[in-house]
A and B are shown apart, each in its own frame.
Chain A
Amino acid sequence: MERLGVFLCAGCGLGDALDLGALESVTQESKPAHLSRHPCLCSPEGVESIRQAAEQGNLEGALLGACSHRVKQQEFRFDPAKLVVERVSLREQVVWSHPAQQEDTQQLAEDLLKMGLTKLAKAKPAAPITDTLAPAVLVVGGGQAGLEAAAAAAGLGHPVLLVEKSGSLGGHLGRTRDRLPQGPSYEELEPNRLADRIAEIQAHPAIRIFTSARVRALRGQPGRFQAEIETLKGVESVEVGAVVQATGARPYDARRLPHLGYGASPNVVTSEELETMLFAGSLRRPTDGKLPERVVFVQCAGSRDPNHLPYCSADCCGVTLRQMAAIHRDYPRVETVTVYRDMRTPGQLERFYAAVQSHAASLFTRGEVEAVEGNGHLTVRLRDSLLGPSLSLDADLVVLAVGMVPNSADGEAIRALRDARRRVEKAESETQRQEAQKLVDQLGHHQGTEILNLEYRQGPDLPLLRYGFPDSHFICFPYETRRTGIYAAGALRAPMEAGQAAEDGWGAALKAVQCINAAARGEAVHPRAGDPELPDFFLQRCTQCKRCTEECPFGTLNEDEKGTPQLNALRCRRCGICMGACPERIISFPAYSVDAVASMIRAMSVPEEFEEKPRILALMCENDALPALDAAAEKRRQWNPWVRVVPVRCLGSVNLVWIADSLSRGLDGVILIGCKRGDDNQCHYVRGSELAHTRLGNIQETLTRLALEPERVKIVELAHDESERIPEILDGFAATLEDLGPSPLKGF
């Protein structure tokens, strides 16, 4: 990019703290097509001055030396296809955080401007690919969530293909008579009207239904997926734009709960088995076919138990209450007792709980069920009950409220299994073969569990979070998924009640529709929603090391037989983790590339050893660490003036060459500041921070070889709200470097 404009702001103290004239002279060295100064660049007049200069000077890029790129975004918004804007944070990173009119402060401003100009010169305008894409939404699973996802996508004007494994629609809810109250007064059972809803969906002209069907293969990318749907009639290949997976959950296998009498006595049944009786209108004791006098419900049967399901299934308390109410209504002589650890009836379900509780035939007692004994007539032994330390209850039917297990497939495990199989075949040594075989044995049970059958390098199904649910890791973004354009919904995604599953179907359908539309505009989806940039792979120089295909958190890249990455651009989320991974530095975005940042590092001044002014590069995550830095500046916290901050999209996008270049230029240290990693990670690209730590672990050995102290490179985790730590982190690092003395590579 050649025709660049430089716009300096004199407001917010910049003019007082800095010698702007000197800064202008410095930028003049790179001969910008335009250079001007405004007393308040973000004012309507200031913005207009940029617009006019850009138009008159036919500028391609504008460097704004003013405030942080995080503020005044709307004022400084220009069409990125016409004018690429680079903002240099002279306010937050220089004058608000450093003493005015000092040589070091001036030098910092000068460096940041030069670095910004270099980056801008390397930028290219984004050239998004826009296309008309397949508008259809593929919904996998025809239970509550899938049905509503289909209705929603159709309601939003998109064709829908609904694939159901069994012969009929409706899932678990299709086999119940009643529903929990969904509206006022919240105290009465509601009739299950699912059959009417199914009829509506079946009659919808935009919804095609495939029953006794499965997805045999799914390949491509958002807007251009190709799905092979296999039915009893054969295989049909269809084009779809996005996918909602709503394959639901199944009850936990009660045979694993022998201490609760399941299997030992036919009179111990699961909630689902009771549901079958209630649905058929025949509540009977399996041993003698007689109406039971007392039904005892055992809550958390196998749930909230580290030996079975450690989580709460969120639905079982509601199901039990619904079944109790149905028994009270249909079999008034039957007594119902519920043994619980905690009754979980959030929100207005509390009203229903209170209504069931007040029924004369119902009793609730807190307690831990130790055993269910007997055959025909049963004894339920409790401890820690409200009614005493140990207690026995008589029952002629015991209902185990078992939890739910997601009908998911572990995409990553299946992929690991397949890779291990390949290694067993191709192993070069017996040890290798044995190790691979061990893995095959460990993962063997994943064989044949595939659901989506994605033709993705990173596995045929969604990656799972804890306990087998392909849930989002993010509280703020529950639909976030690591496979772009594929959204999980309903009890598959997280334990939930049927009413919530219905809503979840609507939400997931909107995300699917949104992804199709974003793909058509050539834009990224969350978290860089609207970003039109696409990565470019200069494959001629690819060495097939597979790091990019391996490390992309979103499964964007496939591989050909040789291991060359195959880009599926519309799956890309623009985090740059592939760019950070690539040792050949062949991956770049139009305005964010290995070369651009490397050039920024080269543009920075590196004082000679005798000047005793160390130089430090801080690579900071722009979502959490940089906002914390801005907040610290706004509070006028000060930090070491030898630090030069380069914001990065994610620490995962940091290419080690930046660190190597910095050190070989004689910089004294490099610090990476980014999000928390681990189980509760706060990285919006899931693995970025984790990967940065791993990669940095590898570079430490290299440092030692180069006779550089490993302390010269550091990585720190910082949360968005930890601005108070900024000075301590940066000053602390500077102090460490001062103790170490100047980099031995200075001046080489």
Chain B
Amino acid sequence: MSDPSLPLLVVGAGISGITAALEAAEAGRPVVLLEKEAFVGGRVIKSHHYFPKLCPPSCGMEINTRRLERNPRVRVITQAEVVASRPIPGGREVTVRQAPAYVNDRCTACGACSSVCPAKVDDSFNLEMGQVPAIRLAHANAWPHRYLLDRPACPPECRACVEACPHQAIDLAARPTEETLQVGATVVATGWRPYPIAKLPELGGGRHPDVIANVQLERLAAPGGPTGGKILRPSNGQPPRRVAFVQCAGSRDVNHLPYCSAVCCLASLKQALYVHEQYPEAEIAIYYIDRRAPGRNEDLLTRVAAVQSVRLVKGKVGRVEPSADGALLLTVEDVESGRRLEASADLVVLATGMVPNLDHGSALDVKRDADGFGRDSVELGLLVAGVARRPEDVASSVRDATGAAARALAAAGRRA
């Protein structure tokens, strides 16, 4: 049993980790929340809108960051990872390594540094679509609201940002730090990464610029994205006229991911609306095996199915290749008729699935199943929440993370 006087450790500050941390802290328990990135919010903050409501994730995140900063029981450590862990009575002792704080918390986000920075790097927040200064605010609502320096991109001897900063917030010589923490139970909420489209060359993944992943379309549709929210074909910057969504791209497929990622159908339905709202004339086709819209999400399917320019076609896309006119040719096995169809599109969105972010041999040594999803070790006070545990959508992740926080506190056996 974990020691209730020790703080709960939550690893990962995406929607699941933030939820687990806040729900435990608001119940009265001290919590340490670790995040690998420089800002909290994980994958959700990179989404344009949530399904089925089509509301911006930053709205709920605003509430959550207010909760984080106002709660005296939560300590958030960003750019941090657990590098070692050993059991102690009632919990574990973890070594937390924090990346060098090139920009420290004296930063006021005034932007003086960014305007003088000569180095450009790929914009990781926008999934490498577009470039940004090496020192920048990761995104408009980044929390902690502090600039971020991609130090390896600095030109030799360059000190432009240091000299421009009026607040002495930049230290180019900063070193990584390590800290030892004693914690009780642990909730692992390290989330997921998209299945790489480069592994789907037969679907044009990594081969043609107009074949993109669903997560990229989120950024293209977002006001803070590389195109300022305009959905444009990467190859020529032109509006798409025919958009094809390829469902189960690498999912429900023994050669790739044998499981269903649970969110891709709804994500594509939602994204079809993004396209339709920007380009009412665009022809949109969604090629699916099953349309999975459980619960009230069915309403979104009904709503999209009623849009005239959207066609839902039962069929598995087997091949995507460039055609002579610069567009893309899709070969679809039409399961209904048993025939092969050919279809043309100028933007193809691969609805790729989710791969759990739980690497083998990590310091916490979370038990994993054959698909790489984490399993609870209640006896070790180690619980897994969110997509690190199973493929699921945001609302389910929040439910799951609240439950995991409860299980973690109960494992610590004290009135919460």
Show the binding face of A for B, using Cβ within 8 Å. 11-13, 40, 42-44, 67, 71-74, 77, 135, 152, 155-158, 183-186, 304, 310-314, 342-351, 354, 366, 384, 386, 466-467, 469, 471, 474-479, 494-496, 500, 503-504, 506-507, 509-511, 513-514, 517-518, 525-527, 529-530, 623-624, 627, 631, 634-635, 675-676, 680, 682, 684, 719-724
Contact = CB atoms under 8 A, between A and B. Distances in A.
B290 interface: yes
Given A624-B59, A684-B63, A510 B405 contact: yes
Contacts of B15: 476
A511 B262 contact: no
B415 A495 contact: no
Interface string B242-265: 000000000010000011111000
Contacts of A634: 109, 111, 137, 140
B167 interface: yes
Interface centre among A495, A511, A529 (most CB of B within 10 A): A529
Interface centre among A135, A477, A684 (most CB of B within 10 A): A477
Contacts of B110: 11-13
B145 interface: yes
B339 interface: no
A344 B294 contact: yes
Contacts of A311: 295-296, 298-299
A684 B22 CA distance: 17
Contacts of A13: 110
16 contacts: A157-B414, A158-B415, A350-B258, A475-B50, A475-B395, A504-B403, A507-B402, A507-B403, A510-B409, A514-B23, A514-B416, A530-B67, A634-B109, A682-B53, A721-B223, A724-B223
Nearest to B53: A680
Given A350-B260, A509-B406, A504 B399 contact: yes
A722 B70 contact: no
Contact of A156 (B60, B66, B409): B409
Interface string B132-153: 0000010011000100000000
Contacts of A183: 369, 375
B63 A623 contact: yes
A312 to B, nearest CB: 4
A476 B60 contact: yes
Contact of B262 (A346, A469, A623): A346
A373 to B, nearest CB: 25
Contacts of A354: 258
A494 B292 CA distance: 16
A345 B265 CA distance: 12
Given A12-B108, A475-B394, A511 B294 contact: no
A474 to B, nearest CB: 7
Contacts of A495: 294-296
A474 B54 contact: no
B390 interface: yes
**Interface size class of chain B, counting residues whose CB lies under 8 Å from the partner chain:** 35 or more
B226 interface: no
B234 interface: no
B223 A722 contact: yes
B341 interface: no
Contacts of B314: 366
Contacts of A11: 108, 110, 166-167
Contacts of A623: 59, 62-63
A721 B224 contact: yes
A344 B292 contact: yes
Interface centre among A496, A513, A529, A721 (most CB of B within 10 A): A721
Given A500-B396, A719-B55, 10 more contacts: A11-B166, A67-B108, A184-B369, A311-B298, A350-B252, A507-B23, A507-B399, A510-B402, A631-B141, A720-B56
A121 to B, nearest CB: 24
Contacts of A474: 60
Contacts of B27: 156, 510, 513-514, 517
A173 B391 CA distance: 24
A467 to B, nearest CB: 7
A149 B24 CA distance: 16
B60 A346 contact: no
Nearest to B376: A183
B364 interface: no
A312 B60 CA distance: 26
A506 B258 contact: no
A344 B266 CA distance: 12
B145 A157 contact: no
B28 interface: yes
